[in-house]
Amino acid sequence: MDIIEINKVLSNQARIDILHWLKKPEANFPVQVNVPDFSDGVCVCHIQDKTGLSQSTVSHYLAMMHKVDLLIATRHGKWTYYKRNENEIFNYINSLKNEL
Amino acid sequence: MDIIEINKVLSNQARIDILHWLKKPEANFPVQVNVPDFSDGVCVCHIQDKTGLSQSTVSHYLAMMHKVDLLIATRHGKWTYYKRNENEIFNYINSLKNEL
DNA sequence: TTTATATATCGAAATATATCGATATGTTTA
DNA sequence: TAAACATATCGATATATTTCGATATATAAA
């Protein structure tokens, strides 16, 4: 739990948006055809479409968010699905209350 | 209340430390001789001493934190005192809960 | 087994941040 | 009024971040 690194990751609107969108995947992303539901999150291509950024940038952003444990990644075949790590997000906000 | 800008400001250990130290000025800073107590906060020179950074860097950091309303500045004579803006800090953490 | 597709990584250019010393500004004191 | 002092601002350099297109890798489909 490195608050500084998480704050760096969350110093960018697209990354904040992604985290927010993933709170309600069914409301923010199209239905997925290769998995039954959103229980493993949303595939990179849908997130990319929604941000309008390049594929490499979005992949990089998701990797950053994954590296600081804000997201959980699951691979199904050629797709990678990302979902929120609610525990870590909760711990982060809680740590802020104490550290700040 | 710009979460992104606040997160940028809080992506630095010295600035996090300053905010934390100001939570208990009497425990973290020497007694001040030109004001009766810590009710307006702590003067720049004491904060500078504690960080070990240059005067210009500390002044710049405090200005950044003031700009996003994390700190309140009060001038007494040739000294500037900075204290936490508890309202804004509270609002920031609360916004994170909703936005993230 | 070749081809197509999804994602990750690499390398580069543009922009932003960190941090300093020097200097300017404002205030007090001699 | 001049000197001293606290803080703010300026200008510069080093380092980090942003973002892209190109390429590599892994998997699935033909």
**Measured CA A89 to C1' D26 distance, in angstroms:** 30
Cα separation, A66 vs A70, in Å, equals: 6
| Stretch A32-46: mean pLDDT | 92
| Stretch A65-90: mean pLDDT | 97
Sorting pLDDT into bands at 50, 70 and 90, what band is A46? very high
Q: Does B3 touch chain A (CB under 8 A)?
A: yes
**Nearest nucleotide, C1' to the C-alpha of B8?**
C17
More confident: A81 or B32: A81
The three-point CA angle B93-B22-B89 to 5° equals: 15
| Stretch A72-85: mean pLDDT | 96
Cα separation, B63 vs A2, in Å, equals: 25
Cα separation, B44 vs B53, in Å, equals: 12
Q: From the list B16, B20, B93, which residue is nearest A93 (CB)?
A: B93
pLDDT computed for residue B45 by the predictor: 96
Sorting pLDDT into bands at 50, 70 and 90, what band is A62? very high
Beta strands in B4-92 (DSSP E): 42-43, 71-76, 79-84
pLDDT at A33 over 90: no
pLDDT at B50 over 90: yes
Give pLDDT tens digits for B11-29.
Answer: 999 999 999 999 999 999 9
Q: Does B64 touch chain A (CB under 8 A)?
A: no
Cα separation, A20 vs A89, in Å, equals: 11
pLDDT at A60 over 90: yes
Averaged pLDDT score across all residues of chain A: 96
pLDDT at B34 over 90: no
**Nearest nucleotide, C1' to the C-alpha of A11?**
D17
Q: State phi, psi for A83 to the nearest 5 degrees.
A: -135, 165
pLDDT computed for residue B79 by the predictor: 96
Sorting pLDDT into bands at 50, 70 and 90, what band is A34? confident
Q: Does B22 touch chain A (CB under 8 A)?
A: no
Sorting pLDDT into bands at 50, 70 and 90, what band is B7? very high
